[in-house]
Amino acid sequence: MVELFLELSIHLRVNVIGYDYSGYGQSTGKPTESNTYADIEAVYRCLTEQYGAREEDIILYGQSVGSGPTLELASRRQALRAVVLHSPILSGLRVLYPVKRTYWFDIFKNIDKIRSVSCPVLVIHGTDDDVVDCSHGKQLWELSKEKSEPLWLSGGGHCNLELFPEYIRHLKKFVLAMAARGGGGAETHQADRPQNRAGKRKEDPGGGAPPAAG
C-alpha cells in the first residue's frame, strides 16, 4: 500500500499518514471492531496533538471494512472537512445477507452512523464489485446528509479501482473543491482493508492550498 500512498500524495498534493489495524501488519493486539475504533482514534489524536492538524482540515478516507472505523470517527467529529468512502459496506452482516434491519450483534453499522455525519461525503464504488455489492455504496450515498458527486466505476471490482484513470481525476477534483471550500489546510485519513492511511495537503508556495489526511 505504500506505493499507493505515495501516488496519492503526489497527485493530490496531500500528506498521507497510514497505519495497520490491531492484529494486522506491524500492529500488535487483536483485530476486533472496538480495537479498530481505538486505532483510528489514536491516529486522529496523533494528527491533532502531535502534528498540530486542525479537525476542519481533515478528510477521512475509508476503504471496504475500513469504512467502519472511518464512519465511527466521522459520526463523532462534526468539524471534519469531508469523508471519502471507497467500496464501503452498509454493515458487516449486510455483506453476507440482505437483512432489512440492524441487529445488535452486527458490526460496523455504517447504515446507521452515516446519518450522523455532517460533512460532505464522496462515495466511490465499482459496478462489478463481487465482494461488496455496489448497492452498499449507493445506499450510503443516498443516506448522506451532504452528498458530493459520487463515482460509480463501470466494470470496477473490489480491489482495482485505483487502476481506473477516473479514480485519481475524481479524487483530485474533490480534494480541490474541499480545499476551496475551506480556504485553508485539509487533512485526509483513510481506513483501508486492514491498513489505513491519512494525509495532510501540502501547502502551496503562496499558502493557499489546504492539507489532506487519508
Residues carrying an active site annotation: 64, 129, 158
What pLDDT does residue 181 have? 84
Return the domain boundaries, the chain: 2-200
Cα–Cα distances in angstroms (integers) from residue 213 to residues 51, 61, 88, 200, in the given order: 11, 8, 18, 4
Question: What is the third-level CATH fold of 2-200?
Answer: Rossmann fold (3.40.50)
Section 79-85 average pLDDT: 96
Residues 134-157 have pLDDT tens digits of 999 999 999 999 999 999 999 999
- Rounded to whole angstroms, the Cα distance separating 8 from 211 reads 13
Q: Which residues contact 210 (CB under 8 A, 6 or more apart)?
A: 57, 81, 178, 179, 182, 183, 184, 185, 186, 201
Query: pTM of this prediction?
Result: 0.86
**122, exposed or middle or buried, with CB in 10 Å at 0-12, 13-18, 19+?**
buried
